[in-house]
Amino acid sequence: MEILSVEFLVASAVGLLTAAGIYLILRRRTFPVILGLSLLTYGVNIFLFATGRLRVDAPPILDKYAKVAYTDPLPQALVLTAIVISFGMTAVVVMIALAAYLSSKDDRIDMPHHPEDEGEDA
């Protein structure tokens, strides 16, 4: 079972989430793009988290009584705020998408192609 290591599982998950995220971001309607952003967020957060290297059963909770190993706390702190902030970002994007859809009854993300507006200034 050399292949199925913790590292492999995490790395493949990151890769798949990133790929799925990129694919959905390149779609033409708002909702799949939002889904893609969410998937990409998962991927990026796990990526950042994994830069602290992985450890099982070593939470960074200090133990007064025993000398035990701790995993890297810093990426965790960064990812924690990243999760909350990405919620905020998703919410704003959802809101923009909703407002755009309600105003135009269209949820395409590309602008419709207009014939050029010839503007001549005086």
Partner 1 sequence: MSLFLIAALPFLGAVFPALLIRAGRNASASAAGLTTFLAFVGLMLHAPAIFRGEVIQVGIDWLPALGLNANFFLDGLGFLFAAMILGIGLLVILYARFYLSREDPMGQFYSYLLLFQGAMVGIVMSDNILLLLIFWELTSLSSFLLIGFWKHLPEGRQGARMALAVTGSGGLAMIGGMMILGNVAGSYDLSVILQNKDLIQASPLYLPALILILIGCFTKSAQFPFHFWLPHAMAAPTPVSAYLHSATMVKAGLFLMARLWPVLAGTPEWFYIVATTGLVTMLLGAVIALFKDDLKALLAYSTVSHLGLITMLLGFGTKIAAVTAVFHIINHATFKAALFMSAGIVDHEAHTRNINRLGGLRHLMPVTATIAIVAALSMAGIPPFNGFLSKEMMLEETVHTLWGSSHYLVPGLALLAALFSAAYSFRFIGHVFLGQPRDDYPATPHDPGLGMWAGPGFLMVLVVLIGLFSAKLAGPLVAVAAGAVIGGDDLPYYSLKLWHGLTPALYMSGVAVIGGLILVRLHRPLMALWMATPRPEAKQIFDVSMRGLTKLAQLITDGLHNGAITRYAFVMMLFIIGICYYAYSSGSLGTASRPVQGVGPIPVIAWFCLIIATLAVVAKHRQRQLSLVLIGVVGLVVSMGFNYLSAPDLALTQLSVEVVSMVLLLLALNFMPKDSPIEAPLWVRLRDGGIAVIGGLGAAALIYALMLRDFVAPSISDYHLANAYKGGGGTNVVNVILVDFRGYDTFGEIIVLGIAALVIYALTEAVLGSRVRAYLLNRKPDMPQAGDAHPMMMVVATRVMMPLALMVAAYIFFRGHNLPGGGFIAGLIAAIALLMQYMASGFSWAAERQRVGYHGIIGSGVLIAASAGLASWFAARPFLTSAYGYLHWPPLEEFEWATASLFDLGVFLAVVGAVLLTLESLARFAWQPGMSTEHAMDINPARDAAENSEDEV
- Distance CA(108)–CA(19), nearest Å, equals 22
Q: Does 54 bind partner 1 (CB under 8 A)?
A: yes
Residue 91 interacts with partner 1 (CB under 8 A)? Answer: yes
Give the distance, in angstroms, between the CA of residue 40 and the centroid of all CA atoms in the same chain. Answer: 4
Look at residue 45 and give its three-state secondary structure: helix
Contact pattern from residue 11 through residue 40 relative to partner 1, giving x for each residue in contact according to CB under 8 A and a dash for the rest: xxxxxxxxxxxxxxxxxxxxxx-xx--xx-
Regarding 96 and contact with partner 1 (CB under 8 A), the answer is yes
What is the closest distance, in whole angstroms, from the C-beta atom of residue 51 to partner 1 in the complex?
A: 6
Residue 51 lies near partner 1 (rule: CB under 8 A): yes
Element (H, E) at 73: helix 73-104
Q: Which of 64, 65, 67, 115 binds partner 1 (CB under 8 A)?
A: 64
What are the φ and ψ backbone dihedral angles of 81, each rounded to 5 degrees? -70, -35
